[in-house]
Chain A
Amino acid sequence: AQTVTQSQPEMSVQEAETVTLSCTYDTSESDYYLFWYKQPPSRQMILVIRQEAYKQQNATENRFSVNFQKAAKSFSLKISDSQLGDAAMYFCAYRAPNDKIIFGKGTRLHILP
């Protein structure tokens, strides 16, 4: 069965610094998608970044980038120049070939002013 594990329930980072959130997953598939979603206090789930497994190049969206290690089944999110608005729950997610998405339990990120 596919699983997604986020081993850091909470993290803190100083404003303007860089932080990395970890995610590992388990699958026997070779073609799939991985996502990072952000859930701010409003609780709306917002897509941060997406990675296609067949692409070797790591995805980047402005200050957000991923380190995708397919063989290790690792998918970490790096946030550069952290801002107060980045404070939120971050969920790592895996999209199975049957279109179902499996979510990790989340990492709560605090930004220290």
Chain B
Amino acid sequence: DGGITQSPKYLFRKEGQNVTLSCEQNLNHDAMYWYRQDPGQGLRLIYYSQIVNDFQKGDIAEGYSVSREKKESFPLTVTSAQKNPTAFYLCAAAGELRETQYFGPGTRLTVL
């Protein structure tokens, strides 16, 4: 069953704790992306990676970090430096031509 998986679906953390969101894909896509979605807003790009061991900051990278050690995996860490981390986080992947991004089911993060 091909696709993009994100886990967990819901995540609760205390303020001041770092938390890592998982994103895995078996589409063999080179590029992967992390977006944040807030109520009433479109998606905003946090980080993206075009190839293993390389990644670039998106529009709202402050307070977040990523790694890309494997083609299949692109985990996102929300650090304590992120001022307002409660949001819905979406991971996406795109193939060789980067024409179209396909999305995972998302993770809802709530910081208490």
Q: Which residues of A are interface residues toward B (Cβ below 8 A)?
A: 4, 33, 35, 37, 42-47, 50, 91, 95, 99-101, 103-106
**Most chain B beta carbons < 10 A, residue from A45, A46, A91, A103:** A45
Q: Can you report 23 residue pairs joining A to B where beta carbons are below 8 Å apart? A: A35-B100, A42-B105, A43-B88, A44-B103, A44-B105, A45-B43, A45-B103, A46-B103, A47-B102, A50-B99, A91-B42, A91-B43, A99-B31, A99-B48, A99-B94, A100-B45, A100-B48, A100-B58, A101-B43, A103-B43, A105-B40, A105-B42, A106-B42
Please report which residues of chain B, range 48-93, place their CB below 8 angstroms from some CB of chain A when the two chains form the complex: 48, 50, 58, 88, 90, 92
Q: Within the complex, what minimum Cβ distance (angstroms) separates A9 from chain B?
A: 8
The CA of A106 and the CA of B88, in the complex, are separated in Å by 15
A33 interface neighbour in B50, B88, B99, B104, Cβ under 8 Å: B99
Q: Which residues of B are interface residues toward A (Cβ below 8 A)?
A: 31, 33, 40-45, 48, 50, 58, 88, 90, 92, 94, 98-106, 108
**Which residue of chain B is the closest to A6 with respect to CB atoms?**
B42
Q: Within the complex, what minimum Cβ distance (angstroms) separates B76 from chain A?
A: 16
A-chain residues with CB within 8 Å of residue B108 when the two chains form the complex: 43
**Most chain A beta carbons < 10 A, residue from B42, B58, B103:** B42
B101 interface neighbour in A44, A101, A106, Cβ under 8 Å: A101
